[in-house]
Each structure stands twice: as C-alpha cells, then as structure tokens.
Structure 1
C-alpha cells in the first residue's frame, strides 16, 4: 500500500516502503485519482468539496510523487449515510439442458417453471425474475454470433420477493424438470434452490447538526 507524507500547506508526497513491489509514478497516482470519480470539479467528502482539476502531480524521486495545488469548496450541510436494509428474499437455480435443440428446450423449461408457479398462485413480475442461458452470449449479447445448435447450455433462473414462501415455492419447481421436463435435462449443482435474505444498499443524507461525532484515541503496549 502507498504511504502519504502530509505537509502543513496541504500538499503531500505519495511513496511506498522500500523493497516492496509496485510502482509509484505520476501515471499510477493519476489513475487512482480517477477511480469512482463523479464530477471532478466537485468531489464531495465529509470535510470539504475537492476540485480535482486543480491538482498538480510531480515526480520528485524514485517512487515519490508530489501532489500539490489542491483547491476546494466548503463542506456541505449533510453527511452521507450508507445503510444496509432488509430487501426481501432471493433464490437461484441451474440446470444443464443438453442434446438437439438445447437452446429451445432451455427456453421451454423456463416457461414451464413460471407457468406451473402461476397455476399454484405464485407470480413473479418481470422485474423480479431473471432467466439466463449460459453459453449463448448472455454476458455480452450481440458481441459475437451465437451458434444455432449448441450441444448444451446452462439454464439459470433467479427470482426475488418480499414473501419468503413464494421464493420457497419456486425452489420446488426447478428440480422436477429433470424427470418431467423436455429430454436432456440434468442437474448441475446444489440441489433445490433455497431462499436467501437480500441485504440492500440504501444511501441517504443526514443533516450535519444531527450527528454528534467523537474521537477517542487509545494507546496500548503489547
């Protein structure tokens, strides 16, 4: 990891411990400044808002880069809070579909799953379900042509719901396709899909005056 030598005027030197791997030069420091950048003229932190276009980088030695000229604006009136909240339940399962017309059979299997669920009174709207045919280019659709008659594909189906019982019911419909679905269906991994709790990300802003911050430094000899 890099080491920062901070100066009173706000500048600092980025360096690293001798004898360690890696490289510290203007290019590598510049690359880190671009990481997860929104508006480079108004990068918001808890203490200030930074104008990254004002920064100057200078190589001042081997594995030593001086960062200076940094300008900014006063801090905002809010703190950002990143909260984790309960977001329902999810489950995902996979099957291998093999033989002639494997892609067509895989699509039919997915259709059968959701038809059977609907007959049981369990419905998943389009935004709460995903059907993927792994091996047909689903990661980068349209980048490369898909062979017309693949010998096998992996059918992956995932669902989510606030109702755990609906997700459990989905898990009961996937495995039966091996014996009551199109020919060439076989298991792949893990048995029946089981519900898993979804932990969702919830960003929010909290007025700064509502937060009473404290710093406590402890020193312990070991």
Structure 2
C-alpha cells in the first residue's frame, strides 16, 4: 500500500512517470495481443510476464522511497539504524565553535580586619576597652588610654582580639567587702555567645570552683568597605 508521506514523494513521482510514458510500439503490439483471449501455455506466459512487470515496478518504488527518506536539509546528516531515521546538525569545527569563557566577576569592595582590646589596672581593677579599630596598636592604645582616664595607675593590656567577640567573667561580689574576690577570665571566640560560655566555664574552674558572672562582652567583627 502506498502512503502519502514526505519520504515517498519520489515513489509517487516514479509511478506517475511510468504511467504517463507511452509504451514502445513493440510493447503496445504485444499488449494488444495479450489482451486477446489466450489458453494454455499462452495464458501462463502472459501471467508470468505481468508478474515480472509488477515486481520491477515495486522494486523501483521501494528504492526510491529509501533514497527519499535518507535526505536531510543542508547542514544536517542522517542518523539512526534500520527502520529509524532522523537528521542531526553537522558539528562545527574551528575557532568559531569555541565558547567564550565567562568574564570573572569584578569585586565591588573588600573585607577589612577590625581589632578590639581590654586593658586593666590589677591594683584597682580599673578597666578600659576598645572595639572596631583598624589595627592592633590603635586598639591597645585606646583601651589603655580609657583605663588611665578612669583612674588606673598601672593600666596594662589584658587581651587583644580581631574579627571576633570577647567576654569577661568575674567572681561574684562579696557583699561584706563590696568587691569580687578571686580570679576572673577573659576569652575571645567567633560569636559573643560562645565567648560568654567559655569565660564562665573557665572562671568557675578557678579557686577550686567559684561562682562567676559576665561583667563585659563585645565584638570587633570584620567590616566590608566598598570601593565606591
């Protein structure tokens, strides 16, 4: 059965041409003779010649269909095995096919380090602090200066830290003398919560186990500075 598909236009065109082209004179004469009533061996020979003619036409149609199905538009090539046909684009070669690498992102700024410090006068327990300074020297100088202004006679650096948080834990105040008795602890950590936890834990381990409170906490975290 002939199907009207794109790949079989050649088959239909071939069939039309076979029908439209007139038969040679010898074939026409032979056809007229074969149209006459025949018997016996003549009828057998006529049927045999007709079968050969039909077979040749069918073979021509089939070969034409195969050629038509293998055609692809410009820039494509046939793919697929027997019974499965398709077209795929022809791969491009050369510099034109190379993909350009994406441009590297342009930085808009940078993260700057920030320092903090704590200074104390151990005799009077006077304390000075500083946060968010651009250098360690600046942070220490500010903390010692504050301690001195508050009455400290011998203010010294207790702890300096950068891009972190800090906490101080002191022993609980003795109500009789109105001051803390024991050792305090100063600890730095990534977050203020962790710094407080570490300071309390360490303070409670001094003097055979003492009760402590957080008396100071702060952070000096890195700050982003845009270029524009």
TM-score of the pair, normalised by structure 2 = 0.20
TM-score of the pair, normalised by structure 1 = 0.20
Higher helix share: 2
Higher relative contact order (CA 8 A, sep 6+): 1
